[in-house]
Amino acid sequence: MKSQWLFLACAAIAATSGCGGVTPTSAPAPAVLVMNNSAVDFGDVAVGGEISEGVTFSNTGGSPLNLTQNSVSGAGFATSGIGSGVSLAPGQYVTLVVSFNPATSGTASGSVALTSSTAAAPIQIPLSGKGIVASHSVTFSWESNPSAAAGYNVYLRSASDPEWSRINSAPIPTTSYTDWDVQPGGIYLFAVKSVDIANTESMLSKATSATIPSP
């Protein structure tokens, strides 16, 4: 009878804290999908020109997740980076690159639809931009930064204005950018900040100047 009591006691202890050297294991934390931008606005882009911006998705949870792009809509918009699906382990990330290449002048709108194993409802990312006929433009480039996991933010100011203004809505995934809104005869300064997957920016880079010709 005593041995039976000891067996039952051991079974009761094992159910809560382990018995005989057996340590209970806890289930891993669920996956958590974090998106660093909820919309992409390309602003003014010359007809026939193209700008790309990125939306980075990261898994900050403790279990894997699946992410799939279902569709992209709107004239001039295209995507790459996720396609038919990616799997993100804890700590991993992926960037959806969205491009805008207007064929005509005027405003354009669209969206990207994705599904995630972490959400019951689809993820919708609104897209917008405007095709323009530009008389002038300036393209500048910079060296890549290993800390720019999500891309770069571009800042502009005129030579007479001490305040910097960010001119992209979502991080730029490449190391060059074209601005079609510059005015004839203007003098502009451009600089960038690298962006990590938490949307944290670096210090501003060294500025590059550009003088726009008069008509």
| Biggest CA pair distance of the chain | 104
Q: Answer yes or no: is pLDDT of 171 > 50.
A: yes
Q: CA-based Rg of the chain, rounded to a whole angstrom?
A: 25
- In the prediction, which pLDDT does 103 show? 98
- In the prediction, which pLDDT does 8 show? 37
- 7 pLDDT band, cuts 50/70/90, is very low
pLDDT in tens, 158-170: 998 999 999 999 9
- Mean pLDDT over residues 143-151, rounded? 93
- Mean pLDDT over residues 95-120, rounded? 97
What percent of the chain is modeled with pLDDT above 70? 89
What backbone torsions phi and psi does residue 6 show, to the nearest 5 degrees? -65, -40
- In the prediction, which pLDDT does 6 show? 37
- Does residue 7 or residue 137 have the better pLDDT? 137
- In the prediction, which pLDDT does 26 show? 84
- In the prediction, which pLDDT does 19 show? 52
Domains, in order of start, for the chain: 33-211 (2.60.40.10)
- In the prediction, which pLDDT does 196 show? 95
Distances (CA, A) of 86 to 111, 122, 127, 170: 20, 16, 22, 21
Q: What is the mean pLDDT of the chain?
A: 90
- In contact, 46 and 99? CB cutoff 8 Å: no
- Mean pLDDT over residues 45-68, rounded? 97
Residue 134: count of CB within 10 angstroms of its CB: 17
- In the prediction, which pLDDT does 21 show? 59
- In contact, 130 and 80? CB cutoff 8 Å: no
- In the prediction, which pLDDT does 27 show? 86
Distances (CA, A) of 158 to 122, 185, 186, 204, 208: 42, 11, 7, 16, 11
